């Protein structure tokens, strides 16, 4: 990582997106250059429904995987909740 200070990333989050969507299953597939994440709500007495599909370039998916691992490790260690960016380099 460079010595330059990181700029703060300000996100725009509309009300509908902020509510989120319930998913209790994720299906991961891939093409040659991308990774596809399908988030599914699989509820009793209903056909499972894809509620969101995210398509990532391979390097974005690798960064997301690192960020998820770091976040889950921190949670297990008892760190306070917070946000992490998947464009960060690993420690």
Residues of the chain with pLDDT > 90: what percent? 70
pLDDT in tens, 7-37: 888 999 999 999 999 999 999 999 999 999 9
Q: What is the dihedral of CA 43, 47, 51, 57, to 10 degrees?
A: 110
Reference 40, options 30, 29, 32, 69; nearest CA is: 29
Please count the CA atoms within 13 angstroms of the CA of 36 that sit on its side-chain side: 10
Is residue 58 a contact partner of residue 35, using CB atoms and an 8 Å limit? yes
Per-residue pLDDT at 90: 45
Per-residue pLDDT at 29: 98
Q: Where are the domains of the chain?
A: 22-76
Q: What pTM was estimated for this model as a whole?
A: 0.74
């Amino acid at each position: 990582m460079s010595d330059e200070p990181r700029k703060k990333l300000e996100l725009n989050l509309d009300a509908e997106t902020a509510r989120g969507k319930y998913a209790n299953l994720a299906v991961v597939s891939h093409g040659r250059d991308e990774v596809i994440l399908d988030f599914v709500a699989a509820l009793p007495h209903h056909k499972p429904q894809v509620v969101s599909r995210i398509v990532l370039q391979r390097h974005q998916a690798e960064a997301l995987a690192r960020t998820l691992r770091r976040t889950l490790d921190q949670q297990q260690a008892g760190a306070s909740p917070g946000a992490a960016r998947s464009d960060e380099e690993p420690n």
